[in-house]
Structure 1
Amino acid sequence: MDVMGLKLSAFSALIQVENLDSFYEFSPDIPVLSGYTNPLVVYRGDSHYGGGFALLADAWHKTRRTHIYAGDFDVKGVTLALDGNATHLLLPTIEWLSQNATPLHVPAEQFPYQRRLRKHLAALPSAHPLRDYLMLLLEKQRGLKQQWFGGEIVSTVLA
């Protein structure tokens, strides 16, 4: 689809899905998204499908409307959300994630991305809801692939 042909004003929110298999399974009909009418759900893209999303993300950012990132709870996934100007992360509750996240889903090759997240964590106010998520990722070194998410899903603000 030609990104330039989309009428962005027709959509209430942009929902960016990181993983292709999760994109095919994704439904915006979950309670946390009930306040959005006609959200635009898109696949982020990879080496095969990538390219178009960056243009869409830039155009969407100019609308100053909600951009929700639905992806892996790992260092690279959260970094992609921040770098793509997402405003929110779609994740399980911190209680559920604390019980189910695992060190097996924090790959060593993602270590270089931790610096970016540590800087973001340091800049967040002490009561910010994202702090607990980043502490789980960075201090406890535990993450979880999007395909393994369960429990209640919440929208957590990034900034």
Structure 2
Amino acid sequence: MSIDLEPSVRKVLQRINQQLQDQQQVQRKAQQASMQQLQLWCDRHELDTQGCFGHTQVLFDRRMLQTIEQTLSELNLASLDTDLSQTSRLEQGELGDGEYKSVGESPTEKRVLVAQANCGAYFPEWVKTAPSQWVMDIAWSSLQLDDFTHLLVVENRDVFYQYFALHPQRYSLPEDALSALVIYRGDGEESKGCKALREACLVLAKPVIYFGDYDTAGLNFAINGGYTHLLLPTEAELLQRANAVSQDAKQIHLAASVTAFAQQLTVDDPLQTLLLHNTQQQKGLRQQAFQGPLQLLAIKRVTV
């Protein structure tokens, strides 16, 4: 058992502490997991909790909370007054000896990977060959968004790293896709920075382009994720080269959403044909296999 309180127990105690501002006592059911964990913690540190833990109820008063706070202080651990969810790992280190990896800001959640084409003539002397692009790990809020007319989000990391290098060897990008601010979508905590940047661009009415796999998951993410455009091969290319191997059968549960979106588009909307071809034929094409000229397709939504 950890010398510190479990994060879930801390949250419960913080709520109880707030309630005790207006009440003399607060009760919780003794069988709750957080109460059992708290009792074990109190017993381990030999806290005086006489009369607090009963068979069915746990009784809290200000004295008990003060006892817990005093013990946390003696152990050099964060107090209950601290909102750990709003702290970074470095800030947590300044609060005491506790480690709270499951709460607070992760090192990557406010950052994005940005790809830029060759930046002038500057290359460090230890770089043997000038790269086709620079990749920067940067806090999204530090970006000057006025310098870009479009945001382009790349689904797959390997394609992101080769974004500019692939042009024009394998496929050709439209001008807006070449001049856009290009970032990697990310996974897990890494994707939070992408989401924040995407929402900031939407507020500024900037087009936000999704560049990913032509499969049901990728299409569903694009049409339901707040994006305004899709970057895909031409209709002729997709109808000819899309295949069942590139369409994961596990994505079938997403087909209804994509189909419903396609059906509200007009018949002359080029996106409708591509969406329905994917869901009805269950055929896809991996982003890594895209060839030829790529096109920007507007994601038109029906407004009531």
Please, what TM-score do these two structures have when normalized by structure 2?
0.49
Return the index of the structure with the highest Cα Rg. 2
The 1:138/1:72 distance shift into structure 2, 3 A limit, reads same
Q: 1:52 Cα shift?
A: 0.9
Q: 1:32 Cα shift?
A: 4.4
Partner of 1:44: 185
Partner of 1:100: 241
The answer to whether the 8 Å contact 2:259/2:276 transfers is no
Structure 2 residue ranges without an equivalent (≥5): 1-137
Partner of 1:16: 153
Partner of 1:5: 142
Question: Which residues of 2 match residues 7-156 of structure 1 at below 5 A?
Answer: 7-27=144-164, 32-35=173-176, 38-47=179-188, 49-156=190-297
RMSD: 1.8
Hey, what's the Cα distance between the residues in 2 that align with 1:142 and 1:154? 19
Hey, what's the Cα distance between the residues in 2 that align with 1:36 and 1:72? 16
The answer to whether the 8 Å contact 1:57/1:84 transfers is no
Three-state SS of the structure 1 residue aligned to 2:214 is coil
Deviations 1:119-147 (A, max 9, x none): 10111011111011012101111101100
The answer to whether the 8 Å contact 1:11/1:37 transfers is no
Hey, what's the Cα distance between the residues in 2 that align with 1:145 and 1:35? 22
Q: 1:47 Cα shift?
A: 3.0
Deviations 1:12-41 (A, max 9, x none): 110100000000011296654324674100
Number of residue pairs aligned between Structure 1 and Structure 2: 159
The amino acid across from 1:14 in the alignment is L
The answer to whether the 8 Å contact 1:129/1:157 transfers is no
The answer to whether the 8 Å contact 1:16/1:67 transfers is yes
The amino acid across from 1:27 in the alignment is F
Further displaced range: 46-55 or 19-28? 46-55
Identical counterparts, % of pairs: 31
The answer to whether the 8 Å contact 1:72/1:146 transfers is yes
Further displaced range: 77-86 or 142-151? 77-86
The 1:35/1:42 distance shift into structure 2, 3 A limit, reads closer
The amino acid across from 2:164 in the alignment is S
Deviations 1:32-73 (A, max 9, x none): 432467410000001363221111111111111211111000
Three-state SS of the structure 2 residue aligned to 1:152 is strand
Higher-helix-fraction structure? 1
The answer to whether the 8 Å contact 1:12/1:36 transfers is no
Three-state SS of the structure 2 residue aligned to 1:116 is helix
Larger relative contact order, structure 1 or 2 (CA cutoff 8 Å, min sep 6): 1
Hey, what's the Cα distance between the residues in 2 that align with 1:71 and 1:35? 16
Please, what TM-score do these two structures have when normalized by structure 1?
0.91
Further displaced range: 78-87 or 123-132? 78-87
